[in-house]
Amino acid sequence: MEQVIERPLPKPSSADYASARLLEALVEAELALEFLRRGLTRNAAGKVFQAWRAVLAALLKLERLKALAKTEEERRWLEERAVPRVPTSRMMSLSRLLEELGYARLTYITDRALNLHDYQNHGPDPDMALSKYRAREEAAYFIKSLIEVVAEYAEKLKNRVAWTEEHERAYSALVGGLG
């Protein structure tokens, strides 16, 4: 499965882009689950963050987003930077835009993913100055919770993207690992 996330991505304007990013999300979430099983909580946090970022990328429909843009500069930024890269610093604003398109609670979920990204970088923090999680066990709970959300979004998007046998294998492995 690791080869899947090493393939070049299709252009964001292509129909295959969302499908490729959803497959990436499934593989990253499965790796997060494996890291959790092995007690590598910070690594798991990084993988589930990447999985959520890939879900956001799969949801970002360039043409619909560009219609929300107020200026030509915003449209160009969406096309050249936001959709292909999903910058960490702009994930909240992109989530808000997606909420305007009808996806509920994305800013809440993205906030959780960003907290886990901080945990990946800083580890447990009893003072909660650099990370929102005081202990590994707290972070592990929220990592698993976000993995479950990734699986839910994969299920929701199943009929909206080109769902291949690779998707089905990755999805089945992820859901089986969660059960």
pLDDT band at 9 (very low <50, low <70, confident <90, very high): confident
Helix then strand count (H, E) for the chain reads 9, 0
Average pLDDT, the chain: 92
Cα–Cα separations (whole angstroms), residue 59 to 105, 128, 149: 13, 32, 14
Query: Average pLDDT of 4-9?
Result: 76
Q: How confident is the model at residue 2 (pLDDT cuts 50, 70, 90)?
A: low
Using alpha carbons, select from 81, 146, 85, 87 the residue that is nearest to residue 112.
146
Q: Which residues contact 22 (CB under 8 A, 6 or more apart)?
A: 54, 55, 58, 154, 157, 161, 167
Predicted TM-score of the model (pTM): 0.92
What is the Cα–Cα distance from 15 to 35, expressed in whole angstroms? Answer: 32
Q: Which residue carries 């689950």 as its tokens?
A: 33
Spatial CB neighbours of 17, under 8 Å, sequence gap ≥ 6: 9, 10, 11, 57, 58
**Two tokens at 63?**
């043409």
Mean predicted confidence (pLDDT) in 20-41: 97
**What would the pLDDT profile of 106-150 be if each residue is shown by its tens digit?**
999 999 999 999 999 999 999 989 999 999 999 999 999 999 999
Q: What are 119-130's pLDDT values in tens digits?
A: 999 999 999 899
The tens digit of pLDDT for each residue in 51-94 reads 999 999 999 876 678 788 889 998 888 888 888 899 999 999 99
CA atoms in the 13 A half-sphere facing the CB of 166: 16
* Geometric angle at alpha carbon 12, from 10 and 14, rounded to 5°: 65
Q: Quickly count: other Cβ atoms within 10 Å of residue 57's Cβ.
A: 23
Side-chain-side CA neighbours of 15 within 13 Å: the count stands at: 4
